[in-house]
C-alpha cells in the first residue's frame, strides 16, 4: 500500500542548503559546474538544471521525485487547512470523510484535473494520509462528549466553551446583537397523526377498524426557518420530496417563500447554498456589516461552496455544541416546539 511504501533509491539525498550554496557559487562566478558539484556534494547535472531553472515541476532547491504530483497546489491546501481550523474553532469540526469531500469540491470548483472518485465525489484515503503528512499541524481527534446522550452532553464546560467562542466572534467582527440569526430545519408530515386513538362504534367481531385520512403514511417535507434576536423572520423555505418541481406546490404559501425539491425531502449541501442566497437577500449582510448565523452541525451545512459563499457575503457561520440544540437553539426551544404543539 502507498502509506506503507519504503524508499528504495538514494536519489536526491543532497541537502537543500548545499544545493543553494552551489547555485550561488556558480552564479557569482566563483566556481565552475564541476568544482561546485564536488565542493558541495551535489550532482553536477542536477546543479546545472536547477541553476538554469530547466526543471518542469520544481525549481531551485525544491525536491520532487516521480511523475505523481499532488492534486491541490500549496496555496489551495493552505486555504483548505485554514478553512478546517476556522470551522473547528467554531465547534464546526469536519470529519475525515468531510475533508475528503471538501478536497473533491475544491478540485472541481477550481477546474483542476484529478483522479478522485467521481461517482462518490470524494478524495481517496491515501490522499488524506498524504495531506496529513504535508500538514503536521492537523490531527484526527475524538471530540469530547459528542458520543454522550443529550442530557449528558449538555454540561457546563461544553456550554461555557460555546459562549466564550460566541463572545470572541462577536467582538472581533464587531457584530451588533440585533444581527445575530438562528436557522433550523424541521420536518412536517403531510398526514398529521392523532395524539391518542379515539374509539369508534363498529360491528362486533370485525378484525380491522380504520378512519379516513388524506394518506395512510404521508410524506415528510423539510421546513427551514430563520429568525434574528430582534424577532425579524426570514421568509421560510420548504423542501418537497420530489425530483422535479411543480409550480402548483407553491400556491398559497407565505410571501417570499423559497420552494425547493429533493428526492427525499432532505436538506443537502447544494440546497443549503441556495438557501444562503435566499438569506442574504433578506438579511443584507456585507463584508463591512457582517451577520452571525447560528445553526446545528448537520453535514449539509459544511458544503464548501456554501461556506465560501457565506464568507464572501459577510455571513459568519457558527455551530451549536453537539447534542445541545434542544436547550441552546432558540428555534428549537421556543418557536418550532410551540408550532409542533399547535399542530
Q: Are residues 260 and 321 in the same domain?
A: yes
Q: Are residues 171 and 80 in the same domain?
A: no
Q: Distance (Å, rounded) from C-alpha 293 to C-alpha 237?
A: 16
Q: Distance (Å, rounded) from C-alpha 274 to C-alpha 315?
A: 14
101 lies in a domain? yes
Has residue 106 got a pLDDT over 60? yes
Q: Distance (Å, rounded) from C-alpha 298 to C-alpha 184?
A: 10
Q: Are residues 230 and 102 in the same domain?
A: no
Q: CA end-to-end span of the chain, whole Å?
A: 57
212 lies in a domain? no
pLDDT tens digits, residue range 58-76? 667 776 656 666 788 888 9
Q: Are residues 53 and 87 in the same domain?
A: no
pLDDT tens digits, residue range 137-148? 888 876 644 444
139 lies in a domain? no
Q: Are residues 85 and 162 in the same domain?
A: no
pLDDT band at 260 (very low <50, low <70, confident <90, very high): very high
124 lies in a domain? yes
Q: Are residues 242 and 282 in the same domain?
A: yes
Q: Distance (Å, rounded) from C-alpha 254 to C-alpha 236?
A: 8
Percent of the chain with pLDDT over 70: 79
Q: 1, 330, 318: which is closest to 161 by C-alpha?
A: 318
pLDDT tens digits, residue range 217-246? 567 788 899 999 888 899 999 998 888 888
Q: Are residues 128 and 224 in the same domain?
A: no
Regarding predicted confidence, which is higher, 7 or 213?
Answer: 7
Least confident segment among 11-25, 187-201, 265-279, 286-300: 187-201
Alpha helices (H) in the chain, listed in sequence order: 16-27, 33-40, 44-52, 74-89, 96-109, 125-134, 150-153, 156-172, 269-283, 304-313, 325-328, 330, 336-342
User: Which pLDDT value is given to residue 146?
Assistant: 42
Q: Are residues 181 and 309 in the same domain?
A: yes
Q: Are residues 250 and 122 in the same domain?
A: no
Has residue 338 got a pLDDT over 80? no
40 lies in a domain? yes
336 lies in a domain? yes
Q: 328, 298, 293, 322: which is closest to 309 by C-alpha?
A: 293
Out of 20, 35, 69, a domain closes at: 69
61 lies in a domain? yes
pLDDT tens digits, residue range 7-43? 677 777 788 888 889 889 988 988 898 898 888 888 8
Average pLDDT over residues 324-340: 74
* Strand (E) or helix (H) holding 246: none
Out of 69, 98, 115, a domain closes at: 69
Q: Are residues 184 and 313 in the same domain?
A: yes
Q: 322, 277, 299, 283: which is closest to 180 by C-alpha?
A: 283
Total count of domains within the chain: 3
Q: Are residues 79 and 65 in the same domain?
A: no
Q: Residue 95: which domain range?
A: 74-134
Tell if the pTM clears 0.75, that is, is over it.
Answer: no
Q: Are residues 177 and 318 in the same domain?
A: yes
Three-state SS at 259: strand
Out of 52, 69, 86, a domain closes at: 69
| CATH number of the domain bearing residue 168 | 3.30.420.10
pLDDT band at 196 (very low <50, low <70, confident <90, very high): very low
pLDDT band at 330 (very low <50, low <70, confident <90, very high): confident
Average pLDDT over residues 50-63: 74
User: Which pLDDT value is given to residue 331?
Assistant: 85
pLDDT band at 272 (very low <50, low <70, confident <90, very high): very high
145 lies in a domain? no
Has residue 310 got a pLDDT over 70? yes
Amino acid at each position: 500500500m502507498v502509506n506503507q511504501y519504503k524508499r528504495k533509491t538514494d536519489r536526491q539525498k543532497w541537502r537543500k542548503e548545499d544545493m543553494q550554496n552551489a547555485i550561488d557559487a556558480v552564479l557569482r562566478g566563483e566556481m565552475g559546474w564541476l568544482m561546485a558539484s564536488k565542493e558541495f556534494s551535489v550532482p553536477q547535472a542536477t546543479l546545472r538544471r536547477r541553476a538554469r531553472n530547466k526543471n518542469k515541476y520544481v525549481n531551485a532547491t525544491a525536491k520532487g521525485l516521480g511523475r505523481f504530483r499532488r492534486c491541490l497546489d500549496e496555496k489551495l491546501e493552505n486555504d483548505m487547512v485554514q478553512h478546517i481550523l476556522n470551522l473547528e474553532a467554531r465547534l464546526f469540526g469536519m470529519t475525515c470523510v468531510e475533508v475528503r469531500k471538501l478536497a473533491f469540491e475544491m478540485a472541481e470548483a477550481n477546474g483542476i484535473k484529478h483522479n478522485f472518485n467521481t461517482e462518490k465525489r470524494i478524495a481517496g484515503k491515501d490522499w488524506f494520509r498524504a495531506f496529513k503528512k504535508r500538514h503536521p499541524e492537523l490531527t484526527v481527534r475524538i471530540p469530547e462528549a459528542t458520543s454522550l446522550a443529550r442530557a449528558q452532553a449538555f454540561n457546563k464546560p461544553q456550554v461555557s466553551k460555546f459562549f466564550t467562542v460566541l463572545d470572541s466572534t462577536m467582538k472581533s467582527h464587531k457584530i451588533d446583537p440585533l444581527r445575530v440569526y438562528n436557522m433550523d430545519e424541521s420536518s412536517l408530515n403531510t398526514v398529521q397523526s392523532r395524539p391518542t386513538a379515539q374509539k369508534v362504534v363498529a360491528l362486533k367481531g370485525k378484525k380491522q377498524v380504520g378512519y379516513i385520512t388524506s394518506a395512510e403514511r404521508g410524506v415528510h417535507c423539510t421546513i427551514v426557518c430563520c429568525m434574528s434576536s430582534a424577532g425579524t423572520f426570514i421568509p421560510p423555505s420548504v423542501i418537497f420530496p420530489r425530483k422535479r418541481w411543480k409550480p402548483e406546490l407553491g400556491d398559497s404559501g407565505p410571501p417570499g417563500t423559497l420552494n425547493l425539491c429533493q428526492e427525499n425531502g432532505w436538506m443537502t449541501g447544494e440546497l443549503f447554498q441556495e438557501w444562503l442566497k435566499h438569506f442574504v437577500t433578506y438579511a443584507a449582510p456585507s463584508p463591512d456589516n457582517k451577520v452571525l448565523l447560528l445553526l446545528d452541525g448537520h453535514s449539509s451545512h459544511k458544503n464548501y461552496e456554501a461556506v465560501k459563499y457565506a464568507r464572501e457575503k459577510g455571513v459568519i457561520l457558527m455551530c451549536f455544541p453537539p447534542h445541545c440544540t434542544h436547550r441552546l437553539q432558540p428555534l428549537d426551544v421556543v418557536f418550532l416546539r410551540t408550532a409542533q404543539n399547535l399542530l
